[in-house]
Structure 1
């Protein structure tokens, strides 16, 4: 079954079209038309089971993410609140912490995000930095 893109409405801020689309990883909302050149349009995954019930307000709420909560006090890198089809998460560099379902994402501040990043259920993503091999470390020690 092929799902045709559905026009949900127009963005009140930019007057661009907002579409409901189906991709290889599930349903998502998209702000604006597909572009041949330049940056791709903003998209947000949908975690709702009934995609036909998505309203313009729901779509606008999903398209507001990711939100930068602030800078991490240790290294001044951004702490970001993201939304995916699996729910909300807080990310700082390579560390991703899931936001509990009972927590309202609109009430998450930088302080709450930092506490979530210190929990035990955080995950590391990306490529870790190379550690020097033991032989190279010994050589460097003798030089």
Structure 2
């Protein structure tokens, strides 16, 4: 279990039921924290390396996308996939979203400081959303 289950963000207690997000209204902060957690633990380290060693190659980026999508999928209810995907897409489409501020604080990267950083973040979020969509389709085929 990751520490976001015990985290309080912006004065909101993290809602969960049996370790999963509950109904969509209460799941929003949970999905935000999951996205933050994925980017903090997976992408921030990779971003730092990409700054040190030049442009990131696609293969490691794909591995990070898959790892993060899987981590998010592990506690998302099947019915919540569409909502998580929608949230990730909306965050990616609005670089002034409060989520960007949270990510800046947690990753210590000023994502909105320049276009290159913003494009990188949007790529990461869209990559996560795409992989969640693929995983959602795969799950629906199993039923």
TM-score (norm 1): 0.25
More helix as a share of residues: 2
TM-score (norm 2): 0.25
More strand as a share of residues: 1
- Structure of higher RCO (CA pairs closer than 8 Å, 6+ residues apart): 2
